[in-house]
A = this chain, B = another copy of it.
């Protein structure tokens, strides 16, 4: 491993060597291998949003093998999906890309204001499928969050004992939060902090807006003049809120945007010290050549070969 990967792994000295090995497998894989940056392909939208909303824009994506191929050809660091998608495709791609088993899932056929995902798979599945990590979503702000935190704690304890890394999607949501509040900078940084305190090895959050949601927090942002006006500043603030940069934090691209706007966001993640992107719909909902070109640009930005 090179010096940057060694430095990142040093932050995880309390994890056993198995967890560190699986973190290294992701950090060393693909086009960004060794840079300390990551681009992960997640495809849980079939479960989360339904198949047509997810795959109609590029029907090749109905086939579970498509996403393996896309992640491999694009040189992603890892591919994350629910049980079924991994089971249906992995045998053709054993060892070709690090896999993250998304262990809980939520659907929209009953869209509660205080959601909780169902636990749909676990550590024994991850091991028998050859995964490097388990993934888990928490919804800080939901009235059900206590249950989710406890589920995560149990999953993480078992996963780490088996040498698997733990990736946490931390998405604020719930009846007490406004829609804009879900991506308010104080709320997103809080969500990152909670994931880190729960033992996440890799944290995934949404890119934060400049809005501050909570009144008590607002006072602090003003008093200490925390810089949050640019996206790069806000990314920096998220990284800082994730144990001062000693946990890997990656960002989701959110809703579909014009490519150039997306690239701007990637530059902000890079400039703010973020560790990378997790890009689902923006990649698998295009035809593969377009997706490869799109991801190639993003990786180029992270790598530094593209400004």
Contact of A241 with B17 at beta-carbon distance under 8 Å, contacts A109-B172, A124-B157 already known: no
Is the C-beta of A217 less than 8 angstroms from some C-beta in chain B?
A: yes
Chain B neighbourhood of A111, CB < 8 A? 176
A109 near B141 with CB under 8 A, answer yes
B56 near A244 with CB under 8 A, answer no
A163 near B47 with CB under 8 A, answer no
A221 to B55, CA, bound (A): 11
Contact string against B for A residues 109-135, beta-carbon threshold 8 Å, 1 for contact and 0 otherwise: 111101011111110110111110000
Would you list which residues of chain A between 1 and 38 have a CB under 8 Å from chain B? Answer: 1, 9, 11, 13-25, 28
A217 near B50 with CB under 8 A, answer yes
Chain B neighbourhood of A197, CB < 8 A? 46-47, 82-85, 105, 120
Chain B neighbourhood of A83, CB < 8 A? 153, 197-199
A127 near B163 with CB under 8 A, answer yes
A170 to B249, CA, bound (A): 34
Contact of A163 with B1 at beta-carbon distance under 8 Å, contacts A64-B244, A83-B197, A243-B62 already known: no
A55 to B122, CA, bound (A): 35
Chain B nearest CB: distance from A247 CB in Å?
7
Chain B neighbourhood of A92, CB < 8 A? 13
Residue of B nearest to A54 (CB): B193
B199 near A87 with CB under 8 A, answer yes
- Of A88, A140, A175, most buried by chain B (CB within 10 Å of CB) is A88
Chain B nearest CB: distance from A48 CB in Å?
10
Contact of A119 with B243 at beta-carbon distance under 8 Å, contacts A162-B162, A193-B50, A199-B84 already known: no
A146 to B47, CA, bound (A): 13
Would you list which residues of chain A between 147 and 174 have a CB under 8 Å from chain B? Answer: 147, 149-150, 153, 157, 161-163, 172, 174
- CB-based closest 8 A-B pairs: A21-B130, A24-B95, A13-B91, A118-B149, A84-B197, A63-B244, A51-B241, A18-B130
What are 5 A-to-B residue pairs whose CB atoms are below 8 Å?
Answer: A19-B130, A21-B130, A56-B220, A82-B198, A127-B163
